[in-house]
Structure 1
Amino acid sequence: MSDSTFLGKWTRKFAKHLLSAPNFVVFSYLDFLDSVFCVIYKHLDLLFEGKASACYCTSKKGDMSNGSSNGELGDDHGGETGMSETLQYGKRKKLKELIVLLQFVENLLNRNKGFEAKYSLKNPKKGDFYRNGHRWSDCGCDSCISWMKMDDPKLHVVVSKASSQDNSNPSSTENVIFIHGMLSSSSFWTKTVFPKLSELNKSEEYNMFSVDLLGYGNSPKPRDNLYTIKDHVEWIEKSVISEFQLNSFHLVAHSMGCIIGLALATKHSKSLKSITLVAPPYFPSKDGVEFTAMNWLTPKRLWPPVAFISSIMAWYEHLGRCVCLLVCRNHRTWEALLRRLTGSRDLSFIVLDLTKHTHHSGWHTTHNVLYGGVKDMDKNLEILMKLRKKVHVIVGSRDKTVPPDCGHNMKNKFPDVELLSIPNAGHRSVVFSRENEFAQNLFHIWNNAAAHHMHQA
């Protein structure tokens, strides 16, 4: 080994250890701070709502064990409940000395509290507002809680009907369901791909449905839901497949939406014509895969700032709630400020979508779908491969959010998967910077799937 090679290797190793020191100090402090806010929020919830919200920090075996049936949080995660093991990360990391200190502070607060709850049922016809409504720390504007005024709320769905649809022969057109990823909405597709599909004069052959996932965009954000994959799939079934009586469809999903899309495709495999996975977060199923996904997708990092915020939102339940309290609850203020600073009346949907969720919906979807869902991807892909379903994967070679290796690893394990790698494309720019090419790719996939389906028939 030459001196220059040895020196370069030693320098990189030294820099890595040098950067790990502040990481350890900062995140150790955040561990402590998250525990402090656990107590703070418990008493604030009690003050404003009359009941403290359950959390994953100090719950004991048997406490809050009814799961999503009653809106409380269970201790027995995983298995049939669809709950991710990563939700108990904070609980395992608690130090005995810290817990003793927090219990002392909590007992002191309980002993001195002399207030009555300022909570009241605001919509008795719909049941317990505490479980179904928004927290005091969530935004209560008309837009954010409009779903609560509906007797039978459904997901927000943007529909683009085929212009040449023959009402007497609905089978002459095909259906496509679009599913967005984390911190996004139906606008991810309707503002980018839908216009290009129309420009190509081929959208007249397709009915297109773009959904806001449960807990995001303009869709319902119930508190008595744990946002498991099963929950997301059932709401899509209710709001799209059953609502519009779809007997067959194609699926297109991005990022985290790929996990939900695969589960939906497997459940409705007889109706599936093709599924296109864009930047899928795929990790081969094995013990501890949920934590592998968590460490790969949202590692504890101080830099860049976006990665640091992502670390807080993913690893710290109560500090993440602080971020949502500051940003999501006050989204109208931030939007007005951005409009004034930029001089623009119409803000980008990318910016607006960042705040259209609650902490409860974002936290549980992140853990139960993004991390917990990866362990079922192999099983779902195996089922689709056995049924000879067309699975297409599109990745960007410079994706820094979901490593492009995820797509290549999927191709290696399932050779029948069709993989397309886009040079110099990132996590979003794999679609955004090439909308026209992406639309053409979709038409090519759908046409091939139709031909394949006819050949099988």
Structure 2
Amino acid sequence: MVVAKIPTSLPLSSSILIRKWTRKCTKNLISAPNFLVFSYLDFLDSVLCVVYKYLDLLMEGEASPCYCRSKNKSDIIKGCYGNRPGDEDEGTGISETLYGRQKKLKEMIDLIEFVEKLLNKTKVFDAGYGDFKDKKKVGFNRLGNRWSDCGCDSCISWMKVDDPKLHVVVNEASSKAMGEHSNENVIFIHGILSSSSFWTKTLFPKLSESAKGDNYNMFAVDLLGHGKSPKPRDNLYTLKDHVEWIEKSVVSEFGSNSFHLVAHSMGSIIALALAAKHSKSVKSITLVAPPYFPSKDGVEFTVMNTLTPKRLWPPEAFLSSVMTWYEHLSRSVCFVLCRNHRTWEPLFKRLTGAREVNFMFMDMMKITHHSGWHTTHNVLYRGVKQMDRNLEMLMKLRKKVHVLMGTGDKSVPPDCGNQMKNKFPEVEVNNIPDAGHRSVVFNRENVVAQDLFRIWENSTSH
């Protein structure tokens, strides 16, 4: 009796084909809801474009400029903010991601134009917006805050000062060193949607506890548009703007002729630009979780699609997508959250039973849409383009650049540090196992403090 053998496994080629087909089906199942949701958000953002223009006219008499249909950055700069010296320079120009984000459906643009034509027939819209580009808006934008922004004393206190500067937390050296070994200066720069609290609430206490910390003057800044620092409306929040405000508020204000730099995330881009500009004064640069991408054409959109892609899950990724891809939807989020941060703080305490609200939560609440939107695009996305040039200059001058990178970073690709070292072998990279974007510092304060002391001492001894 002959028994036929039934194959229990598929041929290798068939197995590979099935796996590919399964992956393709899974990808299509995920992309379908993504397409539907973000197509709807495209439509909603287009509608809000018209709504906010009309509301701005009613509340302020002028409509705030936006990037929905601007075709090139020179038109945006000249049309929205007037001619500014040096706008054509690489370090001052605005990001391509501001005016190059395309809507999925052409009908949305047609809808905006149709509604605007209807509104233009009314005298109030025509009078308010028709000659908008011909008006001088510097005084209006600088002195007034948007109706959709918070107007509490804390948020607008900088407007009451004739010469506003960045908010700086200073931790002075307790020892008065004599002779050749004078006290050293260290400037700390935080990342996007954060503040000086990122350093003062975590690392400063550990640095101060050590006897070595007695020899260092430490300055933690709130970047322009963040925390307690000014949030001017006539500013494009470019890389150059952030560097100049740090120069004005720290380097010149405190007479820092030499200094070390420590920066986290997006702050690393600003730190490298500041270091390159003050190459004779900078003694060391420490970058924590830097978003590094080799400079090339189209890198701005590469960064945007890598760091904040359009995703529905997890929730924080979806929120990041909304806040970076949709100008008017993100303004609506800021209107609900940031404008009412005084309401959310006590409510959060009641719900959680906490005595104090986490400083990271409050940092996100204290930013305006205008400052957050432009800083994200003009520094985080466009500023990456300048990192190679600044690193090349620093390497030629044999400046020490150190990178602390978490291998479990979910916000910035963990291999950014290794990519930087591949292109610039002189850069020292320390990959921290399983550390995340913030936990590379949080809960590791003692270790990071010792690393910083080692870096500072080595750079001083050379």
Would you call these one fold, judging by a TM-score over 0.5?
yes
Q: Which residue of 2 aligns with 1:146?
A: 157
Q: Deviations over 1:225-260 (max 9, x none)?
A: 000000000000000000000010000000000000
Aligned with 1:49 (options 60, 65, 84): 60
Q: Is the 8 A contact 1:71 1:225 kept in 2?
A: no
Q: Any idea what SS the aligned residue of 2:187 has?
A: strand
Verify: 1:20 aligned to 2:48, yes or no. no
Show the counterpart of 1:183: 193
CA change 1:326–1:142 in 2 (3 A) is same
Structure 2 counterpart of 1:66: 78
For residue 120 of structure 1, what is the aligned residue in structure 2?
A: none
Aligned to 2:171: 160
Name which one, 1 or 2, has greater alpha-carbon Rg. Answer: 2
2:302 is aligned to 292
Rounded to whole Å, the distance in 2 between the matches of 1:230 and 1:186 is 20
* Worse-matched range after superposition: 288-297 or 56-65: 56-65
Q: Cα gap change, 1:60/1:389 in structure 2, threshold over 3 Å: closer, same or farther?
A: closer
Cα distance in 2 for residues equivalent to 1:78 and 1:49 = 32
Report the counterpart of residue 274 of structure 2 in structure 1.
264
Counterpart-to-counterpart distance in 2, 1:100 and 1:2: 50
1:249-297, Cα deviation, whole Å (9 max, x unpaired): 0000000000000000000010011000010000001110000000000
Encode CA deviations 1:149-208: one digit per residue, 9 max, x unaligned.
111100000000000024x76961111000000110000000000001112222101000
**Compared CA separation, residues 11 and 60, structure 1 to 2 (3 A):** closer
| Distance apart, 1:80 and its partner CA | 5.7
Question: Are 1:176 and 1:252, in contact at CA under 8 Å, matched by a contact in 2?
Answer: yes
Unaligned runs of 5+ in 2: 1-11, 129-136
Question: Of residues 225, 238, 262 in structure 2, which corresponds to 1:252?
Answer: 262
The structural deviation recorded for 1:450 is 1.1
1:366 corresponds to: 376
CA–CA distance in 1 between the matches of 2:333 and 2:312? 16
- Secondary structure (helix, strand or coil) at the match of 1:251 reads strand
Moved more, 207-216 or 101-110: 101-110
- Distance, in Å, in 1 between the alignment partners of 2:374 and 2:457 is 37
CA distance in 2, matches of 1:80, 1:210: 24
- Identity rate of aligned residues, in percent? 71
Tell which deviates more after alignment, 362-371 or 52-61.
52-61
Given residue 133 of structure 1, which amino acid in structure 2 is its aligned partner? G
SS of match in other structure, 2:355: coil
Show the 5 A alignment for 1:239-388: 239-388=249-398
Q: Contact 2:70–2:99 (CA<8 Å) still a contact in 1?
A: no
In structure 1, what is the Cα distance between the partners aligned to 2:212 and 2:91?
42
CA contact (8 A) 2:91 2:386 kept: no
What is the letter of the counterpart of residue 78 of structure 2?
Answer: N
Cα deviation digits, residues 308-361 of structure 1 (max 9, x gap): 010011111111101101110011111111011122231110111111110000
Per-residue deviation, 1:130 = 3.5
1:376-421 deviation line (CA, Å, top 9, x unaligned): 1111111111100000001000001001111110011111100000
Contact map agreement 1:258 1:280 (CA 8 A) in 2: yes
Structure 1 residue 81: Cα displacement: 3.5
Q: How many Å separate the matches in 2 of 1:127 and 1:392?
A: 40
After superposition, the CA RMSD in angstroms is 2.4
Paired residues in the alignment total: 440
The one-letter code matched in structure 2 to 1:182 is I
Which of 97, 103, 107 does residue 86 from structure 1 map onto?
97
Distance in 2 (CA, whole Å) between partners of 1:242 and 1:104 is: 52
TM-score by length of 1: 0.91
Between the aligned partners of 1:67 and 1:280, the Cα distance in structure 2 is 34
User: Equivalents in 2 of 1:304, 1:71: separation in Å?
Assistant: 42
Structure 1 unmatched ranges of 5 or more: 118-125, 453-457
User: Match for residue 213 of structure 2?
Assistant: 203
Q: Is the Cα–Cα contact under 8 Å of residues 131 and 224 in structure 1 kept in the other structure?
A: yes
1:108 maps to what in 2?
Answer: 118
Task: Report the residue type matching 1:353 in the other structure.
Answer: D
Asked if structure 2 preserves the Cα contact closer than 8 Å seen for 1:77 and 1:85, the reply is no
Give the whole-Å Cα distance in 2 for the aligned partners of 1:64 and 1:408: 37
Q: What are the equivalent positions in structure 2 for 1:217-256 lying under 5 Å apart? A: 217-256=227-266
Query: 2 CA distance for matches of 1:65 and 1:219?
Result: 24
Q: Give 1:32 deviation, angstroms.
A: 1.3
Measured in 1, the distance between the counterparts of 2:46 and 2:203 equals 44
| CA–CA distance in structure 2, aligned partners of residues 21 and 64 of structure 1 | 34
- Name the CA distance, whole Å, in 2 between partners of 1:301 and 1:165: 53
Distance 1:5 1:425, change over 3 A: farther
Q: Cα–Cα, structure 1 residues 20 and 280, in superposed 2: closer, same or farther, change >3 Å?
A: same
Q: Distance in 2 between matches of 1:223 and 1:283?
A: 30
Letter of the aligned partner of 1:342 in structure 2?
Answer: T
CA contact (8 A) 2:165 2:229 kept: yes
Structure 1 residue 69, shift from structure 2 partner? 6.1
CA distance in 2, matches of 1:103, 1:169: 70
Compare 77-86 and 184-193 and name the one that shifted more: 77-86
SS, match of residue 100 in structure 2: helix
Give the structure 1 partner of residue 415 of structure 2.
Answer: 405
Q: 1:114 to 1:263 in 2, by over 3 A?
A: closer
My pick for the range that moved more, 388-397 or 94-103, is: 94-103
Residue-by-residue CA offset, 1:420-447 (whole Å, 9 max, x unaligned): 0000100000000211111111111111
**Structure-1 separation of matches of 2:107 and 2:351:** 47
2:430 to 420, 423, 440: 420
Which TM-score applies when normalising by structure 2? 0.90
